[in-house]
A and B are shown apart, each in its own frame.
Chain A
Amino acid sequence: MSKIRKSESGSYCLGIESSADDFGIGIASFNGEILANQSDCYIPTEGGIHPREAARHHAETADKVLRQALNKAGIKPSDLTCIAFSQGPGLGPCLRTGATVARALASYLQIPLVGVNHSVAHIEIGKLKTGAKDPVTLYASGGNTMVTAYESGRYRVFGETLDIALGNCLDVFAREAGLKHKQGVPLGAAVEQLAAGGGRLVSLPYVVKGMDLSLSGLLTAATAQLHGGNCSLEDLCYSLQEHAFSMVSEVTERALAHTEKKEVLLTGGVAANKRLQSMLNVIAEEHAAKFSVVPLQYATDNGAMIAWTGVLAFQHGLTTPIDTSYVRLRWRVDKVDVPWIR
């Protein structure tokens, strides 16, 4: 890699992220500098993400975000070496919008296209930004919750949710509680703030199955308490977090004990939560492992992570011909070869 670095230090990859409600464009240099990381989030007037409306938002803001990213990086389109895009997993209409923009750019500039796995990108940006080398990673976001670690050519999934994702669980609960999503303040953050004011543990379902976990029963029970119970919203937020985070932490600890790795990395949108951070920190300490958490601006879905993973793939000869660049809604992380790790 060092060989390539020297000769191509002026090379850049532009990455497009559009798997869910965020539309993001990032620009990474081949030596691992993030030059731009712009994004615009679709905020539904009501309820959860409507894939088609989110896709329309992405199509409408694409050109603004693209211009911002190029300006921020201070480069011209002709300086780009390749275009990376989030190929999956994610919501179909949203992914397709990003893919279309990526294909158009790549064909116009006549440069290679690189399809990137969204989950791999969350892990890679975490490693780049924290310096973690070979961690057990908890990737927790609105759409994904999994514990992975690298083993023979791929990130293997050691544990994951059997139903809904951690971020989704917090978001749905927040919406049920009447909290509103504002630009820059995700619903999960609102739950975290309220939880800080609670302290009485309400008993809720705790479901760990093997290395996997289930959150839908917890969400249902917490929501029922919200509507019929006699506990304060603060106590409920606190209890929801304590249960859900204890579950993902237990699963992470199992993977850590199983793999005997010496690093724990927390990435994805829920990584912003201080309480979750502190639980994983305790676990890492107990296993003499180093804990790191991805910086906030790279925790939620972002273009920079796609750009950086695009660099890694491109440097290892992985590009995606346009005619096979269809999106993969359920592209699992353990199906992706990651030849840049050894």
Chain B
Amino acid sequence: MDTIDKVDGAVLLKKGAEASLFIADWHRRKVVIKMRVPKRYRPKELDEQIRSYRTVHEPQLMHEAKTAGVPTPLIYMVNVPESLIVMEYVEGQQVKQLLNGASKSERHEVCVKIGESIAKLHRHGLIHGDLTTSNMIQTPQGKIVFVDFGLGEKNMELEAQGVDLHLLKRALQSTHYQFWEECLQSVLCGYTSVLGALAAEKVYGKIREIERRGRYVEERKQ
């Protein structure tokens, strides 16, 4: 935590599973410092590999997402040896919280925007890798900003796109089980509107395939 102490008045925003996030003042900008902390449970070598890989990739993917037309925080600085990313602080509300207090039509509106953004990422060969409603922030202007690209990758394959959407579906099921189906419908609606029915249907077919395979004993590998 030494490096954080050097930044004036860093305040813990969130201690997640993977990273600690601090809000700080950095050259008179309000920033978020994301620090991937070492994990004692895994071998040091593996731990360092994983943390530096993600620290390098997250800003790259955030940058490319912007090019694809999906809002992400501006990156100010990356420090790989310390697994640190300094980025713009995004004002707004986590979509996770927002959905729980929103009306049905508000939920629809937000989820359509999410679907559109995911389609834009996929069209540009970007996979987010951790599509959950905690990783999306709605700004006061109504933009949806995507964060947390550490598990993302550049990949044009249908399979990867299917898994990406499947993960969002799973996240909706576990976090918003009261209205997950409705939210998913709206997401797919936005997704289809950007990609076109034909391309979108291919991805949906893939999702169905992903759900049918693996993890079920029936198909276990012999």
A interface residue numbers (CB < 8 A to B):
19-20, 47-50, 89-92, 142-146, 151-152, 156-158, 160-165, 168, 172, 201, 203, 206, 208-212, 216, 219, 242-243, 246, 249-250, 253-254, 256-258, 278-280, 282-283, 286, 329-330, 334
Contacts and interface: CB of A to CB of B under 8 A. Distances in A.
A38 B163 CA distance: 41
A156 B218 contact: no
Interface in B1-47: 15-18, 39-43, 45-46
Contact of A330 (B50, B218, B220): B218
3 smallest A-B Cβ distances: which pairs? A143-B217, A48-B222, A257-B17
B130 A209 contact: yes
A156 B177 contact: yes
Contact of A168 (B39, B213, B220): B220
A210 B129 contact: yes
Interface size class for chain B? Answer: 35 or more
A223 to B, nearest CB: 11
B167 interface: yes
A20 B41 CA distance: 31
B210 interface: yes
A165 B151 contact: no
B17 A156 contact: no
Interface of B: 15-18, 39-43, 45-46, 49-50, 129-132, 134, 151, 163, 167, 170-171, 173-174, 177, 210, 213-218, 220-222
Nearest to B216: A330
A212 B163 CA distance: 10
Given A156-B173, A158-B174, A242-B46, A282 B221 contact: no
B35 to A, nearest CB: 15
Contact of B46 (A162, A163, A206, A253): A206
A258 B45 CA distance: 26
Contact of A283 (B41, B46, B129, B213): B41
A209 B218 contact: no
Given A209-B167, A242-B43, A258 B17 contact: yes
Contacts of A211: 130, 132, 167, 170-171
Nearest to A208: B151
B46 A243 contact: yes
Report which residue of A19, A164, A216, A219 has the largest number of chain B beta carbons within 10 angstroms of its beta carbon: A164
Nearest to B160: A209
B216 A210 contact: no
Contact of B214 (A142, A151, A163, A257): A163
A158 B215 CA distance: 14
Nearest to A20: B217
A91 B217 contact: yes
B46 A201 contact: yes
Contact of A162 (B45, B215, B218): B215
Contacts of B217: 19-20, 89-91, 142-144, 165, 329
